[in-house]
């Protein structure tokens, strides 16, 4: 199910890198809330995020993927933001 974002990019810190099932755990930097990323707008976004190690800070646009649980869909990965540039050497972008 696709949800409308209505949201702005949020800086998140990777707490658990993507596992074999395509799920990763991040913490929203300004609120410290934990989110489980389980769905991705495109295969390119999924592949890019799968390269990020723990501790990497990246800005993402996300929307809830489910109504009752803390699972999220990544709508966009903002590569050109200051937070992403700081970690650019830690992640390999796959196009």
CB count, 10 Å around CB of 65? 20
What pTM value is reported for the model? 0.76
Tell me the pLDDT tens digit for each residue of 49-66: 999 999 999 999 999 997
pLDDT of residue 80: 61
**Domain span at 54:** 10-88
Q: Residue 68: which pLDDT band, with cuts at 50, 70 and 90?
A: confident
Tell me the pLDDT tens digit for each residue of 5-41: 447 899 999 999 999 999 999 999 999 999 999 999 9
Q: Is residue 3 part of a domain?
A: no
Q: Is residue 94 part of a domain?
A: no
- Residue in this structure with the two tokens 């993927």, named with its chain if needed: 65
Could you give the CA distance from residue 72 to residue 90 in angstroms, rounded to a whole number? Answer: 23
Q: Total structural domains in the chain?
A: 1
8 A C-beta contact, residue 54 and residue 48: no
Pick the residue with more confidence: 38 or 85? 38
The CATH number for 84's domain is 2.40.50.140
8 A C-beta contact, residue 26 and residue 55: no
Could you give the CA distance from residue 88 to residue 79 in angstroms, rounded to a whole number? Answer: 8
Q: Is residue 23 part of a domain?
A: yes
């Amino acid at each position: 199910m696709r949800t409308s974002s209505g949201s702005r990019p949020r800086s998140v810190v990777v707490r658990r890198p993507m596992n074999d099932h395509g799920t990763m755990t991040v913490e929203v930097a300004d609120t410290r809330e934990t989110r489980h990323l389980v769905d991705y707008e495109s295969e390119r976004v999924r592949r890019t995020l799968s390269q990020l190690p723990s501790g990497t800070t990246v800005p993402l646009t996300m929307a809830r993927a489910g109504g009752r649980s803390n699972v999220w869909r990544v709508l966009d990965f903002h590569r050109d933001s200051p937070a992403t540039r700081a970690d650019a050497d830690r992640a390999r972008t796959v196009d």
